[in-house]
Amino acid sequence: MDALYPEIRRLQENIDRRLGYLSIPDAKRFAQYGGSLPAPIRKFTDEVLIRFDADHTPRLMHESKMLSAGDGSVADVSVPAVWERTVLREALYRMEFLPLVDAGTDAFASSISIAYSHRDTTAAGRTDTRVYEGQEIPRAGVVQTSELAYPIPQKIAFELSDELRHLATARSIDYDPVVENMNNSARIIAEDSHHLVMNEFIHASDEYGAVPIVGEDLELQADGAKRVFILDHFPVVRPRKTYDLQGAQIGSTKNPITVTYNGGAVAEWDGTGEQVPGIYYVLNYNLGEIYLSDEAGEPLIPADGTAYAISYSYATNAYAFDTDTPVGTDPDEYMDTLLYRLALRKGLLEDTRYYRADLGLMSGTVATMVGQAKKFGANFKVPGTDLTVDGSIGRIKDIPFTKTAGPGLWFGDQRILVGQRGTTRFRVLKPWQVTSLINQKGPNGRFTGKKEAYGDQWIALHTPSQLKAAYTTIVLYSASSRVARANP
């Protein structure tokens, strides 16, 4: 663990000792990493903590002096800076995606510049290096450029217990509630960042080579009984919107979706329960299935003969694999076909696009399904394809796979992604910090004896447009189930 000054390091060790972190063996604390914190995560965490130390040096030094002098009171109305530092550190330790991206820090601004380089396949390549005396030397096909990325806010409010508020003042205290409080805080921050990054992988991959479809007629599937209709193409590329610090959209929406029904535009159902009564659409982007609903999300039956159309973009950078086992074929043998398709995706990246395929992502459910392939068996095992000791997917054609986890991920149980690590850029612009505590009041305006605060963090997440070809996916679907039908 690094710190900007020795005093801050000693302060952190003091808090870690009181919270019990120093007594937790690495095998338990970092169990999700096999008992050891990966070097890329430790390096990035130290980088962010030093940035935090620089921003909060006076507070941290003041807390260090007071604790070393035997005065446990470091704050009455503000959250101790060392507590914020600990929450930030534990959140970063939980960010399993960090080795998969280009992670770093940057100064907070209304926009930041992401510099990168990419291969120009139309310029000079390895076949143009033989140049003899007096001949012109061709320029290398490497382009250096940059793109703008915009800050993304992460904010959450906390109700702080007395145990936490008096953390540095009590000599005898049950620290379990405090540890649990801190773990919950760190978990929320890490889960939100994980959610954003995992979805960005899918988003960037689908945007590469996207093809627009205008005015696809859905009314042809209406018969007065069916609710779910099938699009001609899938997966559907999600629209991308960029916002400034005030939440105003910057520029136009990329890959927009327009749904019309009975001559009027239909908005997407957002699940908030706050939409006004009316007709909305619900779209399964992975499978290209759509249905209309009311404001509560209840599916509706489109009237036969009523105009119903959609304009969208679909991803060409994905292979659709039918999970229905053909008649007369063993399921484990059919899963070998999926391994073959994964190998072809790897070949596409490495042999055609000149990217290194060292990143694989799939859900635990998909990993279980893939693990049934006969080639994972001892008698049929092929080099570079294996399971880990716990039975999960380890490597396929020497691509190391990581399991996606968490609700709301766009992967669902329908996507497998292959790509190159370090393509997507993740930047911390303003590390996590908590505001001063304020007294909480109840509905009648009376004090509750509790205090509350909120914390915020700003990050930037961006995949350079010229590097999105470094990702590709397989979408899993069932041809027998992907049909127009009565119920979702």
Task: Please give the pLDDT value at position 251.
Answer: 95
Calculate what percentage of the chain has a pLDDT beyond 90: 59
Q: Which of 47-56, 317-326, 363-372 has the highest mean pLDDT?
A: 317-326
Confidence of residue 73 (pLDDT cuts 50, 70, 90): very low
**Closest to 181 in 3D by CA, of 201, 158, 204, 153:** 158
Tokens 């505590």 appear where?
437
**Closest to 416 in 3D by CA, of 126, 201, 260:** 201
**pTM, 2 dp:** 0.89
Residue 234 domain-assigned (yes or no)? yes
Token couple for 99? 């080795």
Q: What angle do CA 357, 408, 216 make, to 5 degrees?
A: 85
Residue 223 domain-assigned (yes or no)? yes
Residue 259 domain-assigned (yes or no)? yes
Residue 456 domain-assigned (yes or no)? no
Task: Please give the pLDDT value at position 179.
Answer: 55
Residue 308 domain-assigned (yes or no)? yes
For the ranges 191-195, 394-398, 418-422, 481-485, which has the lowest average pLDDT?
A: 394-398
Residue 265 domain-assigned (yes or no)? yes
Dist CA 105 CA 202 (whole Å): 23
What is the total count of domains within the chain?
1
Alpha helices in 69-175, H assignment, sequence order: 81-93, 162-165
Residue 350 domain-assigned (yes or no)? no
Tens digit of each residue's pLDDT (9 = 90 or more) over 388-409: 644 456 788 889 998 887 788 9
Confidence of residue 289 (pLDDT cuts 50, 70, 90): very high
- For residue 167, pLDDT over 80 is answered with no
Residue 415 domain-assigned (yes or no)? no
Burial of 170 (0-12, 13-18, 19+ CB in 10 A): middle
Task: Please give the pLDDT value at position 3.
Answer: 74
Dist CA 437 CA 454 (whole Å): 8
Note down the domain range covering 301.
Answer: 211-314
Dist CA 479 CA 324 (whole Å): 7
- For residue 74, pLDDT over 50 is answered with no
Tens digit of each residue's pLDDT (9 = 90 or more) over 335-389: 999 999 999 999 999 999 989 999 999 998 998 888 888 877 655 556 666 656 4
- The long-range contacts involving 116-125, CB below 8 angstroms and separated by at least 24 positions, are 116/144, 116/145, 116/146, 116/147, 116/425, 116/464, 116/466, 116/467, 117/142, 117/143, 117/144, 117/145, 118/142, 118/143, 118/145, 118/464, 118/466, 118/467, 119/143, 119/354, 121/354
Dist CA 101 CA 461 (whole Å): 10
Residue 312 contacts residue 231 (beta carbons within 8 Å): yes
